[in-house]
Structure 1
Amino acid sequence: MSSPRILVVDDEADLRELLEITLLKMGLDVDSAETLTQARAFLAQRDYALVLTDMRLPDGLGIELVHEITAAARPIPIAVITAFGSADNAVTALKAGAFDYLSKPVRVEQLRQVVHSALRIDKAEAPVASGTVPLLRLAGESVAMRDVRAQIVRLARSMAPVAITGESGSGKELAARDIHSQSARAGKPFVAVNCGAIPEALMEAEFFGYRKGAFTGAVEDRDGFFQAASGGTLLLDEVADLPLAMQVKLLRAIQERRVRKVGATAEEPVDVRLISATHQDLAAWVEQGKFRQDLYYRLNVIELRLPPLRERLDDVGMLSDVILMRLAGTDALTLLSADALAALRACAFPGNVRELENILERALAFASDGVIEVADLALRQPLPAALPAQAPEPAVVAAASVPPDTALPESLPDHLDEVERQIIRSALARTRFNRTQAAELLGISFRQLRYRMQRLDIHEPE
């Protein structure tokens, strides 16, 4: 069986020789090119386990190779070599689709880490190539969630830092775990850290570890989060909560890929893939001076936005089934009634999937005969904006608003449905059946309007 082959593209003879010797000692085959033209000729002949290219070449930029390989959808990891201090070039390359980067002067241990990661990717891609559909934790068949899952599969191939944004309870940690499980690092640790739960005085020791005797209570050497996640993925959850002093230290660890334990004199290399998550608007925090701009650009190389539940209400049924099955365990499965499901689909869910889970867990305690009804959900319905915060006494309302001789409908629900049907039809007629504009006129979302149209049997005229 032949050894994996690496393509090295660099016009500096000394650096090219160093890379070749290191790779050959690792038992790999190597092809070398001095220019983009030579590199393209090699790539036309065979596939490679990894391409290492300098950013600046005599006949162009190495990032051109990144664009070409990405555009051709070839499964070849490509790492760029950037000049010392050229952080912007590294970020640009990662955003363009580069697998990883190396900074000059190239350190041998960092080169080995990049190569090992690339070889793990090469082995991990066999199941995907056979047509197996990846199994992800994030459930949902809405267009938004299908798009998120497709992004996750693409992101898993890269070493680029990912910033996951989304409201609280939307599933940011699940997305991070999916990225890890689909990557070549799946067999290595996944470490999730809530940055807002660590006292500021202990942050450096928790992240980087400490030596025995470094401070009172340090009775033995201890690794930090970076060492615990070695070879795997480190999730910085609620990264906006990091104090500025810790942001500086974290930036250095990301740039140098080395950390120094508290009480130690030497740094040690670390090999982790960083994923950050927050419900805050980090760009706004940068403008306010609460978050370092350089760290923001390091973490936010690729952004993955998770939609709130109110933007994918079509998934409420599937999510409810998954949650109820998990909560049931070995007991008999409890189901949602049609009315209860309709009530859930009409909610705004400010707490997103976490709030849905809380509602269903509470409803299980009140459900009878294996069915959850609307009353079991105990949904909190806010008062309409037009009503006063404190409603008048019922007796006063009855006397003032409903004359004794007013004709009452035979069925109040049918009467209210007819009133709602006429209002929606009026809005649709005014907008020539433009549902998006009609939803804006009515002050509801497009999804809510679509649901109401289906429930009230309103169709576009022939």
Structure 2
Amino acid sequence: MTAPRILVVDDEADLRELLEITLIKMGLDVDSADCLAAARSRLAQTEYGLVLTDMRLPDGLGIELVREVSALHKNTPIAVITAYGSTDNAVSALKAGAFDYLSKPVALDQLRLMVQSALRIRKTDSQAAGAPMPAPGSASPLVGQSGVMQDLRAQIIRLARSMAPVAITGESGSGKELAARDIHAHSARADKPFIAVNCGAIPEALMEAEFFGYRKGAFTGANDDREGFFQAANGGTLMLDEVADLPLPMQVKLLRAIQERRVRKVGATTEEPVDVRLISATHQNLAECVENGKFRQDLYYRLNVIELRLPPLRERLDDIGLLSDAILARLSGSGTPTVLSPAALEALRGYSFPGNVRELENVLERAMAFANDGVIEVADLALRRTASPPPEAAQAAGRSAAIPSAPAAHASPAPAEAAESVRSAEPAARSSGPVSLVEQLDKVERGIILGALESARFDLPQAAEMLGLSHRQMQYRMQRLSISQPKQ
């Protein structure tokens, strides 16, 4: 079997020789070029398993070669070598189609890892070229045949070939983790770990230890060495879900780990190399977080090299039928599948689904419990209204000591509504003698939060979004007001 051939493009003879020796020791054949013209000539004559180019060459910039290889040699990964600290150059190269990058001085262990990843991609592409084309969407967990979903799946297949960080944006419940898993499954790293981390659920004091691991004795309770998320995902993909919730001190540490591709365990004195593909996700607008000083701009540019937007369910209501069939088949297990009546299907297609696919799953799971003879009717769906009830209804609910109605699904409760809730509590306060203003305000806040939680079916991220709160703020308020989630 012929060894893969690598093309090294660099005008520094010493570095070019170092790269050649390292690659030959890996059992690879190597060609070299010292300028763009020589590289183009080589590419016209030979098919390469990887092109490795410097960014600054005597007759032009390496990014020109990146664009040409991406356009004319689509099955050939190309990586770039950038000057130390040239973050902008690395990001520009990745956006132009580069598979990956190395920083000078080149670390040979990182070079070997990158070459191995590139050759895995080459092998995956070769196998895919001889395989029959799958049916549209058959191999993807992202169900749907609408135009936006077909475009999304096509984007995912293209993104899977690169090492460039991907930022997935979309509303809560739209399937961001499913998209991340699909990118991983279509990549050359599919046989390696996929680790998903909810950044908003980790206490700030434990973040560094959770991400990077710790050594025995590093702190009280550290009885053994422990690997962190980066080590667990080594060779595979690390998904940072709700990345906007990371506190600023942790953002600094994460940026260094991304740039250096090395991590240091808490209590260790040396760093260790890691090879991970980073995918981040959030329902917040990261650009606005940067403007407001809540998210570092340099980390934003590192994570947001390629953006993948997931459409909300209301933009692809034609997929409701396929999605419902898939969800009901999964929920039914090996039993007789439950089905939707035509009227129930039309009712679902006429609903806006503020909670997206996650809400559809909750609706169908509840409806199955009420369905007769395995057929779900409109009444079984119990679709909630997406608008706030009139003030009279809210006041009546307050008089009967029921949970206050939830705020609108697409907006945070208005100050006027909160004020009305306070006023409605005033007569009761006066009739029962002196009361604490703090207690009354807590009672109003508790009612609003319970209403939002009930409206979101106790989906914390969705309820927090409805109220304009972060996940951490929502958890704090629930703890302060002694609000707990019902046991599943």
SS of 2:321 mapped into structure 1: helix
Shift of 1:333: 0.7
Report how far residue 73 of structure 1 moved.
5.2
Kindly provide the amino acid, as one letter, of the partner of residue 194 in structure 1. N
- Structure 2 counterpart of 1:210, from 196, 214, 237: 214
Alpha-carbon distance in 2 for matches of 1:93, 1:65: 10
Q: Which runs of 4+ in 1 moved over 3 A?
A: 387-392
Structure 1 residue 305 corresponds to structure 2 residue 306: no
2:297 to 293, 298, 305: 293
User: Do residues 331 (structure 1) and 327 (structure 2) align?
Assistant: no
Match runs of 1:427-446 below 5 Å: none
Query: Deviations 1:267-294 (Å, cap 9, x if unpaired)?
Result: 0000000000000000000000000000
Q: CA deviation at 1:389?
A: 4.2
TM-superposed deviation, 1:72: 2.2
Comparing 26-35 with 72-81, greater Cα deviation is found at 72-81
CA distance in 1, matches of 2:73, 2:186: 18
How far did 1:127 drift?
Answer: 3.4
Q: How does 1:59-74 map to 2 (within 5 A)?
A: 59-72=59-72, 74=74
Match of 1:253 in 2: 257
Q: Distance in 2 between matches of 1:137 and 1:95?
A: 26
Whole-Å separation in 2 of the counterparts to 1:317 and 1:268: 49
Give runs of aligned pairs for residues 47-446 of structure 1, distance below 5 A.
47-72=47-72, 74-130=74-130, 131-133=132-134, 135-382=139-386, 388-390=390-392
Q: What SS class does the counterpart of residue 376 from structure 1 fall into?
A: helix
Tell me how far 1:388 sits from its aligned partner. 4.4
Unaligned runs of 5+ in 2: 395-488
Structure 1: which 5+ residue stretches go unaligned?
393-462
Between the aligned partners of 1:228 and 1:295, the Cα distance in structure 2 is 22
- Secondary structure at 1:262's aligned position in 2? coil
CA distance in 2, matches of 1:262, 1:388: 55
Distance 2:68 2:343 in 1: 53
1:15 aligns with 2:25: no
Q: CA deviation at 1:74?
A: 2.0
TM-score (normalizing by structure 1): 0.83
* 1:421 counterpart residue number: none
* Residue identity opposite 1:46 in structure 2: T
For residues 333 and 11 of structure 1, do their structure 2 counterparts lie closer, same or farther at Cα, with a shift above 3 Å needed?
same
Q: State the number of aligned residues.
A: 390
Secondary structure, counterpart of 1:390 in structure 2? helix
State the alpha-carbon separation in 1 of the partners of residues 338 and 103 from structure 2: 56
C-alpha displacement of 1:390:
3.5
Q: Tell me the distance in 2 between the aligned counterparts of 1:360 and 1:163.
A: 30
C-alpha distance in 2 between matches for 1:209 and 1:368:
52
Inter-partner Cα distance in structure 2 for 1:136 and 1:391: 45
The structure with the largest alpha-carbon Rg is: 1
DSSP 3-state at the match of 2:239? strand
| Alignment partners' CA distance in 2, 1:376 and 1:178 | 33
How big is the alpha-carbon RMSD for the aligned residues of Structure 1 and Structure 2? 1.3
Distance 1:293 1:370, change over 3 A: same
Query: TM-score of the superposition, structure 2-length normalised?
Result: 0.79
Deviation at 1:128, TM superposition (A): 2.1
Provide the rounded CA distance (Å) in 1 between the counterparts of 2:84 and 2:116: 23
Aligned partners of 2:182, 2:213: CA distance in 1, in Å?
27
> What's the counterpart of residue 43 of structure 2?
43
What percentage of aligned pairs have identical amino acids? Answer: 76
Aligned to 1:459: none
